[in-house]
Amino acid sequence: MTDTAPFAFSSRRSQRVAFAAAAGTVAIFRLVVLLTGGAPATIDAGNWIAFGQALVADSSRSGELVYPPLVPLLTYGATTALGFQTGVAVTGALSSVMPGAGVFWALGRCQIGRVRLVASILMLGVGSVGEAAAWGGFPQLIGFGLLPVAVVAVDRWLSKPSVRAVIVPSCLVFAVFATSHFVALILVVALPVVLARHLLLAGTALKPRLALMAKAALLVVPLLLLASTYWKLAGAAFGDDNAFAELDDLTWGNVLDRLEHVYAEWPLLWRLLVPLSAITPFVKWAPKHGAAVRLVRVLWFALIVVSAVTRESRYLYLVPLIALVASSIWLEELEARTYGMSRRTRGVVVAAVGICAVWQMTAGIGLFDDQRYFYGPLTRDLTAAIETAGDATTDGRRIAVPSLDGTPVGWWVEALGESEALYGSSLRWLVFPDEIERATAANRVFRPDFPASDSLGLLREADVETIVLPRTWRWFDYDAVTRWAYENELETLLVNADAVVLRVGLG
């Protein structure tokens, strides 16, 4: 495609305006949805807030638990300034447009013209992007936005490396690592592939290759600031059986089913785009498409390697991004081939692409309301119950709460109640020994026969002072709980439509 072609959005400025308008519209829509429900949305945002509290204020959270700091600081700052519900909604809405913004910027740097609007706007509406925003996967979304930008920036810098120009690519690499260790692992695999190509281009002499490698080392110097965080993350990941194979167990037998879930809003379109993206690196393209093709090739390679090693299906959420980057190459080639055709023929092609784009956007964004409530365990009354428990809990003591369908509501207990939680959870979501130990203890308490004869003793042994019992917990039995509280002289702190809060004492 040429930017001088007589067609809409030929100028870079008009493309930026169009994308900004689309991104703003999508962000506002998701913001409005996230603000509904009368309580903070998402599951994971409570975890980011608790991490943020630990970074900037006194916190009961163990120093053993660490996470890349960017998202915890952003979420904590937003909720401190705007309140829990609004702060989470704003962070989630803005995070959800980051993958699209990353595609838009990266394709622009790869000399892709106006068709990048199609790819980047479609990325805004991908259903799996909304799903990640709904569960609170803000690090993943921001990381996916930064990833293609960082890869392209490093590739461009390595073609003419200099100490002065290294600032931008090194900051982008740092930003990925400061955002998400999950996405950083993709970059760990991708960057050596990018470097290897430039080493081959440097010739066979040893000296130029060593010089290039020395300059490339400058890219990772800022990462020394995160060395402590990643040392602890690596220790937890490689020292715990939950970290990889048992987490999600992605296999050749289920990979297609997992992939179908990622683009469930309109499988027909993605069954075309994904195979096209897979063959893109093997097609002979015009030289101007070289940077975009390299980006597709590197991302596919890194995704396959990391998925094979970790067997973690969440990496498949990167597939739509790769497919849309590749689709922009095919679309630009299609436009070039139809350029000499009649206006009517070109109009039919544009209309077909436009209809597909609108259909995909409508289908993907239309899922967000259901996604928000599916992944939003908190209600107004449950939030009030958690805050009541937090006010009633002595410093250094714990609040206990069961999981809701395996999800760790305790992250919100730590954020809202500002106390360490003994929270039930499926162990698949946990990595650090401290949180696994606490979740294991909570799961022993909150079992189908709760309250049992040993429940009170187990709670007191674990330094639990108060418990929050959501009525939506699958094994909640109001009559059994009230009888247990009466027989053991436990103080009832709150009973409302969604929860019961009890003080179990200190033993």
pLDDT tens track for 273-292: 999 999 999 999 888 899 99
Global pTM exceeds 0.85: yes
336-361: average pLDDT: 82
Q: Kindly give, in sequence order, each residue whose CB lies less than 8 Å from that of residue 166, ignoring residues fewer than 6 positions away.
A: 157, 215, 218, 219
How far CA 88 is from CA of 1, 85, 130, 198, 364, in Å, comes to: 40, 5, 14, 42, 21
Domain ranges, residue 455: 380-503
pLDDT at position 391, please? Answer: 95
Domain end, chosen from 372, 394, 414, is at 372
164-175: average pLDDT: 96
180-202: average pLDDT: 95
Domain end, chosen from 344, 372, 400, is at 372
Query: The dihedral of CA 159, 164, 165, 166: what is its sign?
Result: positive
Give helix then strand counts, H and E, for the chain: 23, 5
pLDDT band at 18 (very low <50, low <70, confident <90, very high): very high
Q: Do residues 305 and 385 both lie within one domain? A: no
424-448: average pLDDT: 88
Taking only the tens place, the pLDDT of each residue in 30-70 is 999 999 999 999 999 999 999 999 898 776 676 778 899 99
Q: Do residues 150 and 206 both lie within one domain? A: yes
pLDDT at position 7, please? Answer: 54
Nearest to 413 by CA among 439, 432, 433: 439
- What's the Rg (C-alpha) of the chain? 25
Statement: residue 245 has pLDDT above 70: no
Residue 482 lies in a domain: yes
DSSP 222: G
pLDDT band at 248 (very low <50, low <70, confident <90, very high): low
Residue 32 lies in a domain: no
Residue 70 lies in a domain: no
Q: Do residues 128 and 254 both lie within one domain? A: yes
Q: Do residues 327 and 365 both lie within one domain? A: yes
Q: Kindly give, in sequence order, each residue whose CB lies less than 8 Å from that of residue 67, ignoring residues fewer than 6 positions away.
A: 47, 48, 51, 139, 181, 229, 233
Query: In the numeric block, which tokens belong to residue 487?
Result: 């027989």
Residue 67 lies in a domain: no
pLDDT at position 292, please? Answer: 96
Mode of pairing for the β-strands spanning 491-495 and 420-423? unpaired
Q: Do residues 192 and 253 both lie within one domain? A: yes
Chain centroid to Cα 388, Å, comes to 30
Measured torsion, CA atoms of residues 289, 293, 294, 298, in degrees rounded to the nearest 10: 160
| Calpha distance 341→284 (Å, rounded) | 23
Q: Do residues 141 and 259 both lie within one domain? A: yes
Q: Do residues 328 and 389 both lie within one domain? A: no
Residue 26 lies in a domain: no
Q: Do residues 137 and 269 both lie within one domain? A: yes
Q: Do residues 330 and 423 both lie within one domain? A: no
Q: Do residues 316 and 397 both lie within one domain? A: no
Statement: residue 429 has pLDDT above 80: no
| Calpha distance 447→15 (Å, rounded) | 56
321-330: average pLDDT: 97
pLDDT at position 434, please? Answer: 86
Residue 65 lies in a domain: no
Residues facing 399 on adjacent strands: 421, 466
Statement: residue 3 has pLDDT above 50: no
Query: In the numeric block, which tokens belong to residue 399?
Result: 């609040």
| Calpha distance 463→450 (Å, rounded) | 18
Chain centroid to Cα 63, Å, comes to 23
pLDDT at position 342, please? Answer: 73
* Proportion of the chain above pLDDT 90, given as a percent: 75
Question: Structurally, how many domains does the chain consist of?
Answer: 2
pLDDT at position 210, please? Answer: 92
Look up tokens 């002065």; give the residue: 164
Residue 49 lies in a domain: no
pLDDT at position 2, please? Answer: 43
pLDDT at position 507, please? Answer: 54
Q: Do residues 351 and 396 both lie within one domain? A: no
| Calpha distance 402→382 (Å, rounded) | 13
| Calpha distance 92→86 (Å, rounded) | 10
How far CA 358 is from CA of 16, 53, 271, 344, 363, in Å, comes to: 19, 41, 17, 21, 8
Residue 54 lies in a domain: no
How far CA 419 is from CA of 246, 438, 463, 467, in Å, comes to: 30, 13, 12, 12
235-256: average pLDDT: 68
161-180: average pLDDT: 95
Nearest to 431 by CA among 64, 178, 139: 64
Query: Is residue 500 classed as helix, strand or coil in its secondary structure?
Result: strand
Q: Do residues 283 and 174 both lie within one domain? A: yes
pLDDT band at 430 (very low <50, low <70, confident <90, very high): confident
One-letter identity of residue 151: V
209-216: average pLDDT: 92
Domain end, chosen from 372, 390, 408, is at 372
How much helix, strand and coil, in percent to the nearest 5, is found in the chain? 70, 5, 25
Statement: residue 335 has pLDDT above 90: no
